[in-house]
Amino acid sequence: MPHIPGHTGASSFQDWTPEWWSRTLAEFEPAQYYSAGRGRDFGRQSPGRQRYFENAYQDVLKDYYGVAGEAMREGRAPVSFMDFLDTDPWTARYSRLPQTARGTTGMMSSPRTRFLYNY
């Protein structure tokens, strides 16, 4: 078996060094996204937010690419995806959704009146 930097030679995942896992996390964007503390906290607030967090990976990644591209065009170093996730991109994006997409309709606070009885 060829030598892999950071691997101790055994076959279990427990034998990989912490440095290897840190490098892997830094390069694997889905793991960064789904393990982001702010995102997980956002998803815990309601079932609708949880569904949104689970399905918004591609949209948030596209937003990150846009922010990174703008920085590169301006000659600045882009922030890492992990730092971008710390800016909490879910709340602003979620609040722009229509009520039906968020699972709320406003019907509970203002129910429709079906019949008006004038006696």
**Distance separating alpha carbons of residues 55 and 43, to the nearest angstrom:** 11
Query: Which pTM does this prediction carry?
Result: 0.63
Residue 60 is encoded by which pair of tokens?
């948030």
Comparing 117 with 31, the larger pLDDT belongs to 31
Local confidence band at 1 (pLDDT 50, 70, 90 cut-offs): very low
What is the torsional sign of CA 73, 75, 81, 85? negative
pLDDT of amino acid 105: 61
Comparing 76 with 10, the larger pLDDT belongs to 76
Give the number of other Cβ atoms within 10 Å of residue 58's Cβ.
9
pLDDT more than 90, % of the chain: 11
Mean pLDDT along residues 4-33: 71
Tell whether the model's pLDDT for residue 74 goes beyond 90. Answer: yes
| Average pLDDT taken over every residue of the chain | 77
